[in-house]
Amino acid sequence: MQKQIMSHKNQIALVNGILVVVGFGAHFLLHNEPLEVGAFVLASILGVLPIALQAYQALRVRVVSIDLLVTIAVIGAFAIQNFEESAVVTFLFLFGAYLEQRTLNQTRSAIKELTELAPESALLQVAEGQYEEVDVDEVDEGDVLLVKTGAKVPVDGHVLRGEGHINEASITGESLPVTKSVGSDVFAGSILENGTLEIQADKVGEDTTFGKIIELVEEAQDSKSEAERLIDRFAKYYTPIVLLLALVVWAFTRNLELAITILVLGCPGALVIGVPVSNVSGIGNGARHGILLKGSEVINRFSQVDTMVFDKTGTLTIGNPEVADWQFYGNEAEKKQVFAFLGSIEEESDHPLGKAVLNWLGNFDKVPVTETKVVKGGGVTATVAGRQIAVGNLALMAQTGVTVSKAIEKDAQNFEAKGNSLVALAVDGQLVLLLGIRDQLRPGVKGVLGQLKELGVKNLVLLSGDNQGTVTLVAEELGLTEAKGNMLPEDKANYIEQLQSQGQVVAFVGDGVNDSPSLALADIGIAMGNGTDVAIETSDVVLMNSDFAHLPHALGLTKATARNMKENIGIAIGVVLVLLASLIFSNWMNMTIGMFVHEGSILVVILNGMRLLRYKVK
């Protein structure tokens, strides 16, 4: 019976409303008192059933809810035969709950849109050239799938055959299609706008980037900030206090109607709903723009940031460095062999500078590498074809006893003055090759940093493992507050702790791979993610397509969300105070008006929160 009543709550509200209309029609048009009383009595009884059930369910878990206040108020009004007010109050409460749920569903539209993009089926290769449509849950890693024009990519994978343009807005927030060809990575939930692709599944189901995005957004929308937890605790004690106040008023005045009116006026519904709806809307807006905000506590902290610390490679720069300058100091006859030594060592590295060196070398004769030793913050030493090789910065050269001549020092200074990072190679203790590697600044990065300043960020700091000359050059070009070079990961973490000890609220922006200590230690860790697993899991905020231009939107959105929360708290408290003051200092306030204003205030805070869905940074 209880289940049927609760599942038909909206229908009960509709019948309740019709009976209220009949009651007023009987009073004003037909002047038929029996019909009027009958309609209001039936409306009151019918309307109070779902409200009383919700109150009972809350009491079973020792929670004195708003529903209990309304139930007692309706029963009291019924007892003093104020059937009109008891009927109207139940209708307003039920109708308000219906509108509240409808509008809350709209604030969750971003996650709803995401889940609707989740692929349901896939064309699985069952024999050479033959494909069969199967449920996406039946696809395993390694399976070969066919994606046709207009279809959703069902898994994370890579292209085996074909070419096409894919809309990856669900992953990155970027609406422009991305060209995909053999070897390109593709993501579940993206849409093939034209072409036909044969892909191999690398990740399936919840392990896909899209699956993790949905999971993170759902968790973020369900998480609670300290403000929400405080309001929950407040409501837990506030509601019994209102009930006690109504009892005290009745005990001293013996005015049951006054006591019942206090119950209705004191309902804290707008206060309870105001903060969550702001958070949900803010997180939803971020998800639409390729920005993952991991919960309402993150929003609160991010809105207070006054210092932003940046890694250089892959953050302020594109992350695709190239060899721009080089000088060979060895025997020309050994140049080819030296290049083979360098390529063989760098082929075992995943460092961005190593990839730049390999691209520059092109084809080389690979030789066996043994006794490889990584020197943190310096480079690599190894034995190659029986020769002792050191590849890294000048600090590594000094550490391994390699002599650097005045001429080489001058070349190094010239390379650094151009903004190069240095990679030196020594063979058997003799420096024979010096490379200058340069990365390009992200387009528009200076304008983005200007926007961050306008949004209240006072300090823009660059921390990099690069040489100080390169770092200083970048800082001067971008107008940064401070720049530190030659920093190891632990140096960056220590510097962030130093800033925090000075009372600064620090956000660190990095690639989420090499800077995980700094991402974890900062008040807010922001990963330039490109949807990578490490970035998603280690940071507070993820820019899904590594679009630096989205950073001002993320900061502005959190500030707008935090401001919106305060507005909603102010509206909720203000309405309750005005209602109670009206009851004390006027003679026009009654239970029906109180309930009407109460439900109206809930809708006001919800609509105010929903404004965040349309937020755009100025």
Report the catalytic residues: 311
Write out the DSSP string of 44-105.
HHHHHHHHHHHHHHHHHTT---HHHHHHHHHHHHHHTT-HHHHHHHHHHHHHHHHHHHHHHH
CA-derived radius of gyration, the chain: 33
With a CB cutoff of 8 Å and minimum separation 6, the contacts of 34 are none
- Sheet of strand 369-375: strand arrangement: 322-328, 430-438, 421-427, 387-392, 379-384, 369-375
d(C-alpha 360, C-alpha 373), whole Å: 24
Nearest to 178 by CA among 168, 187, 188: 168
Element (H, E) at 541: strand 541-543
Q: What DSSP state is assigned to residue 26?
A: I
526 with 503: CB under 8 angstroms?
A: no
Distances 344 to 275, 339, 362 between C-alpha atoms, Å: 58, 8, 12
d(C-alpha 302, C-alpha 294), whole Å: 11
442 with 318: CB under 8 angstroms?
A: yes
Burial of 31 (0-12, 13-18, 19+ CB in 10 A): exposed
Q: Determine the longest span between alpha carbons in the chain, in angstroms.
A: 114
The vertex-211 CA angle with 534 and 535, nearest 5°, equals: 15
Write out the DSSP string of 432-491.
EEEEEEE-PBPTTHHHHHHHHHHTT--EEEEE-SS-HHHHHHHHHHHT-SEEE-S--HHH
- Give the orientation angle of helix 591-610 with respect to helix 269-288, to 10 degrees: 20
Q: What 3-state class would DSSP assign to 267?
A: coil
d(C-alpha 417, C-alpha 27), whole Å: 90
Q: What 3-state class would DSSP assign to 18?
A: helix
How many C-beta neighbours within 10 Å does residue 514 have? 18
Q: What DSSP state is assigned to residue 587?
A: S
